[in-house]
Structure 1
Amino acid sequence: MTESCPGGAEGVAGGKSRFDDIYDRPDPRAYFRRLAPLEYEIPHHAQPIFRQVAADRAALADGHRGRPAMLDVCCSYGINAALVNHDVTLAEMYERYTAPGRRTMPTAELAAQDKEFYAERRRPDAVPVFGLDVAAPAVRYACEVGLLDAGFTDDLEQGPPGAGLSGALAEVGLITLTGGGSYVTARTFTALLGGVRRPVWVSAFVLRTVSYHPIVRALAAHGLSTTVDVTRTYPQRLFTDEREQRYAIEAVRALGGDPAGCEEDGRFHSLHYESRPDTG
């Protein structure tokens, strides 16, 4: 759950505001403080879907030993991992990290509390989760508190996976994405799928301002068929200002969508795409 791929200073990407600076902090407090007023909510909508998809993928016999891992692309501080594997809600995470009592707490103390907090709430059906994000401090924190089983900072828009990620890809059976569709392209997915060894499913929430078709074509080239329910959208967050809203409305219309009731009402909206091996 992130908008941090790739890294850089806060600014505008194609008319969309960016918040890259909040991913370069040693812990997630700035992330939640910044996004709380914008009501960033897509991980909440993804939580039950990712849990179900992860369970379904784990139940699939694929001839490999061990449970298939979930790889969360643009994972930031491990929010999706927290929501999939722990009895916690996004609202509780906002409350936790914006609480006045934790505002001045040293990162080391927060991390120690978080490690205990999530361990106590670990679900019995938890799946291994790897994280991929160019924001090293965010990935480091998610690993330190036990949300990620492994984290990687490879920039696959610029080059191939390193040795660590390449080794981890052999265990991956599910790739997830929320929010990063504005920043990662087919290059990232081509690099990932070129290194997997197990049958891989992809579950992605992508803003309606972005065309997912190049990634769909890349997935198809690796034998994956993609479906999307265009009758249902998922609110992502409020717009930062009127400029961003104008950009979103124009971008949705340019892609053949209708912003009425969605972007025109003041929020980014996403579509949910599911990609699985083509059995036809």
Structure 2
Amino acid sequence: MTDAATHTHADASAGADTPARPKLAVWKFASCDGCQLTILNCEDELLSIAEAVHIAYFPEATRAVVEGPYELSLVEGSITTPEDVERIHEIRAQSGTLVTIGACATAGGIQALRNWADVDEFRSIVYAHPEYLSTLDTSTPIASHVDVDYELRGCPVDKGQLVEVLAAFLNGRKPRIPTYSVCVECKLKGNVCVPVAHGTPCLGPVTQAGCGALCPTYGRGCYGCFGPQDSANTDSLTRQLAELGMSNDDIVRVYRTFNAGAPEFEAASNKVAAGGAS
């Protein structure tokens, strides 16, 4: 008997009076697998999660495959090939709720830097036979191609926020995820403001909370891992970064990292690249 058949048989023999557990699928597109590993790193919570949902498709964790439809799909990674476009539409069609996890899935990821580059040139330099490759000129978030029910930010996602999203799904409520800036987390932890006290460039004022102000806690500026917060004033931050001595090229680079394809960061970097910080 196959693994999939074993799962199906076990569910069928559980009894007609036992509610079926919702089926969970975890999908990967262009990414580093870090957000999937965050699921596996939920050590204390993983057994409870496994008891509450039927992990039907998760190649990072198991070879067993149970056919859809799936009540919940978690999607990691960005769309970078024509095949990706077709596959995400297939996944959307068989998913009741679709949640994108991580910077790649929500903003195109670090690979979105290709959006400002000559992809043909990259291919010709890296591959001996680039004619065999089928790729897109851009790396785009999942929401650019299908409807997404919820986006979970981070590079990688925060374990606590991931568990909150799963708990919210199981209880039929909206996840309680902050949309304010990393600056609030710094204040809650009693951190000294690194731009004010040390003149250290920091994206905290325009970045969504979720990391616990990890970098500022250790005296470093925020790198924007969780993408733009809900009212990001990038014009003001750009002026501050320039006052701290950053060149236009450096300012463009700090906006074009993990969340380069996020609309607010993309617009800010384009504006600076055109001379907007001078």
TM-score after normalising by structure 1: 0.26
Higher strand share: 1
Higher radius of gyration, 1 or 2: 2
TM-score by length of 2: 0.26
Higher percent of residues as helix:
2
